[in-house]
A and B are shown apart, each in its own frame.
Chain A
Amino acid sequence: MTATLTEAMTTTDASSRGRGGPTRRRAASVLRPRKSVAFTILMAIFVVYALVPLLWLVINATKTQAGLFSSFGLWFSDDFVIFQNIWETLTYDDGIFLRWLGNTLLYVVVGAGGATLLATLAGYGLAKFRFAGRRAIFAVVLGAIAVPGTALAVPTFLMFSQLGLTNTPWAIIIPSLISPFGLYLIWVYAVDSVPTELLEAARMDGAGEFRTFFTISIRLLAPGIVTVLLFTVVATWNNYFLPLIMLSDPTWYPLTVGLNQWNAQATGVSAQPIYNLVITGSLLTIIPIVVAFLGLQRFWQSGLSAGSVKQ
């Protein structure tokens, strides 16, 4: 019974429906409720709210600038120019969009990758070793979860400009390296998923701690690591405030700041609106991240629920 319940909650409803065929159907109960059409429709409204803006983006990426103004927002205009739009987006201003894409990838790979590595090492160290100051470290880092990046951004900028780091990639990468939430998640995850007996057995065999970590523990931690990686990737990919204040040279911009600059180009004295490129560029910006989330669902959903056991 418990297994059925868990299954009903974790998998799509197809399996549980198949199991409770007509012959075995009992009265609806808390444990095995009837599927409700009304309920499904209610939630469908929710989904419409979530997806309509994205649908709008996809549809309007197929229009020319003139078509944007002359056609209904949620339907296609007469010209279907998405490939031309993509080409123009990639080549506009000597291909600056590709440069921004490259910058974003650099910040994501080094920043989010580094953040995940540091959080994993530290979370594991805090979970599996006893040492002085451990509790204090944990308390401070937990407190830091409550400090949002934007609050620190202005002071960090002032400090980095003293150090001569502004307007360099380091100004984006270094602050991205810390994920207090990531550390917390790995810590919680490591407590249960890496058995202390296993570590002791490895020690008896004479394996060094770091070797044990990289050969054994890291595999056990994998769902937690993927979860942290995904969330740090999203945070870095979507970062706007930090690069906005740290960078003045457009050649170091990530996609987010670049796109907003394209959009701002539509107003002002020498206005040159390129709405079709802003829309197409926005679409190109979200595709990789949406694909990553959809593709890695299985991992991050299990990682997240492990994190909530201890909440």
Chain B
Amino acid sequence: MTTLSRSRSEWKGLAFTAPFLIVFLLVFVAPVVYSVYLSLFREQMVGGNAFVGLENYAELVVDAQFWEGFLRVLLFLVIQVPVMLVLALVAALAIDSARLHASGFFRIAIFLPYAVPAVVAVLMWGFIYGDQFGLVANLNDWLGASVFAPFSRDWILVSIGNIVTWEFVGYNMLIFYSALKVVPGDLYEAAELDGAGAFRVIRAIKLQALRGAIVIATIFSIIGSFQLFNEPNILRTLAPNIITTFFTPNMYAYNLSFSGQQYNASATVAIVMGVITAVIAYVVQLRGSRKEER
């Protein structure tokens, strides 16, 4: 009697959820459906917009520019993501260890770059990298030789990787730290009774507790790398010859749309990247949870 009747509960629950769902359909589901549609059509010289089946996909598979960008972000993520996540993990464990003076300050200071807009972060680092009035110029002067050239072909990915790491290491640290904070205290007590040392505790308790958070952070970072756009696109002003219009798949999709009016090809790139990202995220999640069961 006090609980809601089933039908009334259904109605109320839906009423709470409906506003979100309606907008969600408009800005998440509809664009996906629309780009699938676009990827199956093409503007023909004769006959206008025509259904071409999977022709756009077939063309993308042999598109060297697309694969160049794809391999570049793959290389980027294989190096940048582990470096960033290990740094974040070390920072989270250190802050959680209770061995630091002023750990609250460390937590907020390392997290702070996350609040900085990507545009400002890239502009800032772009100035710092610069050979006109940047710190890198000062550093090279001091070394007496041009040791660092952040905008050269060899260094550009390192330069971008550094900006992305700077932006997100604190965010990931906070995710790890939040997961560590909810470890029940009696686990540590039991460990102490067993005479476990600090590293034993990290291995046996903390890393176990972090497993879910690590999987989630890895997935987010992989997605972020595949979607790399802001940093290279803003740096392009400073290194126009090194950063091409197809430097990353997302930049390629953007430039196909906005410089080339090739909307169908652009939608195809978006779909293919979306599917690849989803598959990899799924595999990571699967592997992560399998380890958990062991």
Interface residues of A (CB under 8 A from B): 1-2, 5-6, 8-13, 16, 29-37, 39-40, 42-43, 46-47, 49-51, 53-54, 56-57, 60, 68-69, 71-74, 118-119, 121-122, 124-126, 128-132, 134, 137, 141, 144, 146-148, 150-152, 154-159, 174-175, 177-178, 183, 200, 203-204, 209, 213, 234, 237-238, 240-241, 245, 255-257, 259-260, 263-264, 266-267, 275, 278-279, 282, 285-286, 289-290, 292-294, 297, 301, 304-305, 307-309, 311
Contacts and interface: CB of A to CB of B under 8 A. Distances in A.
Contacts of B181: 9-10, 305, 308
Nearest to A162: B34
Nearest to A310: B212
B179 A311 contact: yes
Interface in B153-192: 166, 169-170, 174-175, 178-182, 185-186, 188-189, 191-192
B219 A146 contact: yes
B250 interface: yes
Nearest to A130: B9
A36 B102 CA distance: 11
A83 B106 CA distance: 31
B31 A159 contact: yes
Contacts of B99: 33-36, 39
A73 B134 contact: yes
Given A151-B227, A155-B270, A293-B115, A1 B133 contact: no
B138 A73 contact: yes
B26 interface: yes
A37 B38 CA distance: 60
Contacts of A257: 119
A129 B13 contact: yes
A257 B123 CA distance: 12
User: Interface residues of B toward A: which range?
Assistant: 35 or more
Interface of B: 2-4, 6, 9-17, 19-21, 23-24, 26-28, 30-32, 34-35, 38, 87, 91, 94-106, 108-121, 123-128, 132-135, 138, 166, 169-170, 174-175, 178-182, 185-186, 188-189, 191-192, 196-198, 201, 212-213, 216, 219, 223-224, 227, 229-230, 234, 237, 240, 250, 253-254, 257-258, 263, 266-267, 270, 273-274, 277-278, 281
Contact of B223 (A51, A146, A234): A146
Contacts of B110: 46-47, 50
What 3 pairs between A and B have smallest CB-CB spacing?
A125-B16, A129-B13, A2-B185
B31 A174 contact: no
B192 to A, nearest CB: 5
A103 to B, nearest CB: 14
